[in-house]
Structure 1
Amino acid sequence: MQAANPNISAAALPAGRSSIQHLPVNLFASVMGLSGLALAWRLAAKTFGADIAIANGIGMLAITAFLLLAAGYLVKAASYPDAVCKEFTHPVAGNFFGTITISLLLLSTLLDRYSPVLQQAVWTMGVASTIVLSFIVVNRLLRGSAATGSAVPAWLIPGVATLDIAVTGATMPMPWAYEVNMLAVAIGSVLAVVFFVLIFSRLVHSEALPAGMTPSLMILIAPFEVGFLAYVNLMHQADMFASMLFYFGLFMFVVVSLRVFRPSVRFAASWWAIGFPLAALSNAALKYADATGSGVHAVLAAALLAFLTGAIATLLVRTLHALFTGKLLTA
């Protein structure tokens, strides 16, 4: 059985000229990647003494990208509501709406330098929308009759999204923030384990993912590295359990990289699926290097940051080229 197409705009909408109708929701993963890169460079400023202006510049780019995409998707929702409905109810593409809620959570951490009040408001919006989306996704799956081929890495997005609540909200000053963070960790950690097992089983026992979905394999490292960041932020230490999460995520990165980074996999918006998982790994490596004080871990963190920066830059250039040549919004 073939897995469902993650880019519903290409699968269910009529082909034709470039149109906002074909703006895929998974393009919000670009905001996640840029935000994660900005946060990684913030940590690099602390660990390596990098210029904080680099992080601030990338952060501004992430905010701008979100505003442009949000405006575009609102136009799509107003002009083509049926297309948005098809995306949301699609068994695979629907999971990518989690990229919007995660973007809100990540952007909230970038807004602290502008306005703490705005930061808290955006984080609260991200928390509410993330928990609601996780509820909808789980409720949808428990109806039964889900196709085997729909158990793909994108399932992890709404599950891991709740872990991002703790990653971004551990220092929120609201009196209710701690309990919300714990609720988020409880939901995210269990969903991540359950979904990871189901997806891994599907990848082992069924046919390989279609070429267009291959980049999404990188999402498999996200539960462990995001889990590491959430755990360390809440516990304020990198203990043995944190080390296990970090190292298994690193192991999975090496494994899936051999399958993802192949010339035969053509560029598409779905390639942004690698951005945030790589950013989570880079941020985790920087935090782990800072916690251990090890030169080896510092070199590893620097290498991963360089790789992440090059990957995001490449994706950004390719995406802008596709946009200006009219290919990005063509089904």
Structure 2
Amino acid sequence: MTVQNPSVYPSAPVLHSWREVSVRNLPVNLFAAVMGLAGLALAWRLAHGILGAPAGVGEAVGAFSLVVFVLISLGYLTKLARYPRAVRAEFHHPIAGNFFGTIAISILLLSAVVAPHSAGAASVIWTAGVVATFALSFVVVSRLLNGQVDPSHALPAWIVPCVATLYIPVTGGQMPMAWASEINLLASAIGAVMALVLFTMIIARLVHRDPLAPSLAPSLMILVAPFAVGFLAYTNMVGGIDRFAALLFYFGLFMFAVVAPKVFRPGIPLSAAWWAIGFPIAALAIAALKYAASRGTGPLWGIAFVLLGTLTLILAVLTVRTVQIALNGKLFS
């Protein structure tokens, strides 16, 4: 794959001069790397609990996701301090602004990563993630209801802030606070309805308008997220896997089969946008492990193993390539 500007803006120019390298160009969608890595850690932790996989894998990846979150946060806070207008423009961009949801989801997932080691820290981190998620969802939905939204902007990125609310019950099912159960219900209501509405709008745009630019093709994998994450949220809420949960899982698996050939094809340049594939596949892998454990059939275990192995390989490659473009300056150009 060739390397181009990692920004979510499809029209951004490719720059190669070190004089143009600046933290000003650090894209907010790079926080999706934390989501993917934290999701991979939770998937391996679940595989350890169900299948006896090595416990160290999940814990090592979880620690790495924390380090990555700190590094990206420091970079983006530097961008905010030095280039507040650039951050403001990114937040108000009709596409890029939705990726601020990756920050909230990262915080929620990291609360689950640290939960076995410190319940108190997990509660604090989860609460911070809940506040950020609700605030962002309110802003994004209010912005859409202002009207005059270009239908061509109905892209998979729209799903991110609303899927973020579904991560609240996914990560908060064991929170000890008395108010946590009602917050989980509220988040599930918002996430389920908005995901359905936005998914319909996005599918209509993809059907009736021009295909996505190659640089945006990886974002198609986000279409898997409402159903995979919805499965995890629903099963946490009801405490088991029923027929409705199975419907969510199987449709998520179907969407993965549909979009995977459109994402994993030659000619799509490497960029930070590729990290958008991590968290939907991680959610689907975790869902597959949980569903296979409940049904106990060989084909379902095969699907779970393939998804977990694929996720591990993809994120390993993305990590190495992202470090490479960070070191040569292309990540910040």
Given that 2:10 and 2:215 are in contact with CA atoms closer than 8 Å, whether structure 1 keeps it comes out as no
Cα deviation, residue 298, structure 1: 1.1
| Pairing 1:24–2:27 present | yes
Structure 2 counterpart of 1:7: 8
Cα distance in 2 between the residues matched to 1:246 and 1:169: 20
Given that 1:9 and 1:23 are in contact with CA atoms closer than 8 Å, whether structure 2 keeps it comes out as no
Cα deviation, residue 290, structure 1: 1.0
Cα distance in 2 between the residues matched to 1:261 and 1:201: 23
- State the superposition RMSD in angstroms: 1.6
Given that 1:13 and 1:22 are in contact with CA atoms closer than 8 Å, whether structure 2 keeps it comes out as no
Cα distance in 2 between the residues matched to 1:154 and 1:6: 13
1:304 to 284, 304, 307: 307
Cα distance in 1 between the residues matched to 2:7 and 2:324: 22
Cα distance in 2 between the residues matched to 1:37 and 1:17: 34
| Pairing 1:69–2:69 present | no
Cα distance in 2 between the residues matched to 1:13 and 1:297: 43
Structure 1 counterpart of 2:332: 329
| Pairing 1:101–2:107 present | no
Equivalent runs, 1:87-126 vs 2, <5 Å: 87-126=90-129
Structure 1 pair 128–69 and aligned structure 2 pair: CA distance change class (3 A): same
Structure 1 counterpart of 2:181: 178
Structure 2 counterpart of 1:317: 320
What runs of 5+ residues in structure 2 fail to find an aligned partner? 1-5
Partner letter of residue 89 of structure 2? K
Given that 1:26 and 1:270 are in contact with CA atoms closer than 8 Å, whether structure 2 keeps it comes out as yes
Question: Which stretch of the first structure deviates more once superposed, 111-120 or 78-87?
Answer: 111-120
Structure 2 counterpart of 1:204: 207
Structure 2 counterpart of 1:213: 216
Cα deviation, residue 295, structure 1: 2.0
Structure 1 counterpart of 2:3: none
Report percent identity of matched pairs. Answer: 52
Equivalent runs, 1:96-245 vs 2, <5 Å: 96-245=99-248
Partner letter of residue 328 of structure 1? L
Deviation >3 Å, runs of 4+: 8-16
Deviations 1:147-192 (A, max 9, x none): 1111000000001000000100011110000000000000000000
Cα deviation, residue 11, structure 1: 3.5
Cα distance in 1 between the residues matched to 2:205 and 2:11: 24
Structure 2 counterpart of 1:39: 42
Cα deviation, residue 47, structure 1: 2.0
Equivalent residue pairs, number:
326
Given that 1:10 and 1:22 are in contact with CA atoms closer than 8 Å, whether structure 2 keeps it comes out as no
Cα distance in 1 between the residues matched to 2:241 and 2:74: 40
Deviations 1:252-295 (A, max 9, x none): 00000111101111111100010000101100000101111222
Cα deviation, residue 236, structure 1: 1.3
Cα distance in 2 between the residues matched to 1:92 and 1:12: 17
Given that 2:32 and 2:279 are in contact with CA atoms closer than 8 Å, whether structure 1 keeps it comes out as yes
Cα distance in 2 between the residues matched to 1:151 and 1:13: 25
Partner letter of residue 62 of structure 1? S
Structure 1 pair 325–92 and aligned structure 2 pair: CA distance change class (3 A): same
Counterpart of 1:62 in 2: which secondary structure?
Answer: helix
Question: Which stretch of the first structure deviates more once superposed, 298-307 or 221-230?
Answer: 298-307
What runs of 5+ residues in structure 1 fail to find an aligned partner? none
Cα distance in 1 between the residues matched to 2:213 and 2:259: 15
Structure 2 counterpart of 1:58: 61
Partner letter of residue 242 of structure 1? A
Partner letter of residue 223 of structure 1? P
| Pairing 1:258–2:261 present | yes
Cα distance in 2 between the residues matched to 1:157 and 1:252: 16
Counterpart of 2:20 in 1: which secondary structure?
Answer: coil
Cα deviation, residue 113, structure 1: 2.9
